[in-house]
Amino acid sequence: DTEVTQTPKHLVMGMTNKKSLKCEQHMGHRAMYWYKQKAKKPPELMFVYSYEKLSINESVPSRFSPECPNSSLLNLHLHALQPEDSALYLCASSQVDMGFSGNTIYFGEGSWLTVV
Amino acid sequence: KQEVTQIPAALSVPEGENLVLNCSFTDSAIYNLQWFRQDPGKGLTSLLLIQSSQREQTSGRLNASLDKSSGRSTLYIAASQPGDSATYLCAVRRGYGGATNKLIFGTGTLLAVQP
């Protein structure tokens, strides 16, 4: 099973709302990622968790708050977003590399977010 | 700063043709390179991964090559089919620890295979 599951698939929220995106994997992966993809652009990294600890934050605004409550789950909490934050949010997971460069990163289907 | 470019940006071919997608990167110190496929409005599907020590990988009708010294990778698709129509993205990984554990994506090639 090489599946990363993301919910919801679509989300429309107002600029004053608080919502969360969820991601789940059961492949035993201990690295999990959030990427943001705007239309017709490549994905851009937001956050990386390794062994449930935040290891990379690509200077993402604080209105995006990641959380990794356990080794299978990754959340992205959203608050006071702007219309320009509308995008496809992709979750991914992989083994934590220990020098073996053959570990594939697997992506979910994404959550489409529209901020109105 | 690593920059990844893909040429062409868009490609339209008739069914049955063999084709090559190109990916170039500016920093040859990569950990691995991964090719993905993305259907419209969908997530990314991993196609092939080439480790930094490898020259090529094959899966079915797909063959990916890597030339680190020249900063290039190619994805060869044999006997193309309409179902191959999608955006193809290459991504290089800088490393596996700390701040280097990230994929840098190319600009993508939009492929249309005409029946």
Q: What is the pLDDT of residue A32?
A: 93
Distance from CA of A15 to the nearest CA of B (A): 23
Does residue A85 have a pLDDT over 80?
A: yes
Q: How many helices (H) and strands (E) does chain A have?
A: 0, 11
Question: Tell me, what's the pLDDT at A91?
Answer: 97
Using one digit for the tens of pLDDT, what is the confidence trace for A21-34?
999 999 999 999 99
Give the gap in angstroms from C-alpha B107 to the nearest C-alpha of chain A.
6
| pLDDT score, position A104 | 86
Confidence (pLDDT) at A96: 81
- Residues A34, B26: Cα–Cα separation, whole Å: 24
Whether the pLDDT of residue A52 is over 70: the answer is yes
Which residues of chain A have a CB within 8 Å of the CB of B51?
101-102
Closest-CA residue of chain B to A4: B43
pLDDT at A67 over 90: yes
Distances (CA, A) of B55 to A100, B63, B65: 16, 11, 6
Tell me which of B55, B103, B109 to substitute to probe the interface with A (most A C-beta atoms closer than 10 Å).
B103
Nearest to B92 by CA among B7, B21, B27, B8: B27
Question: Does B65 lie at the interface with A, CB-CB under 8 angstroms?
Answer: no
**Stretches in chain B below the pLDDT threshold 70:** 97-99
The number of angstroms, rounded, from the C-alpha of B4 to the middle of its chain's C-alpha atoms is 10
A57–chain B nearest CA distance, Å: 9
Are B44 and A102 in contact (CB < 8 Å)?
no
Q: What pLDDT does A101 receive?
A: 65
- Mark yes or no for CB contact A101/B53 under 8 Å: yes
The interface residues of chain A toward chain B in range 13-72, judged by CB-CB distance below 8 A, are 31, 42-45, 48, 50, 55-56, 58
| Per-residue pLDDT, B62 | 97
What does chain A come to in residues? 116
Q: Decide if B96 and A56 are in contact by the 8 Å CB cutoff.
A: no
How confident is the model at residue B1, as a pLDDT?
A: 85
Cα→Cα distances A32→A61, A92, A105, B72, Å: 19, 6, 9, 28
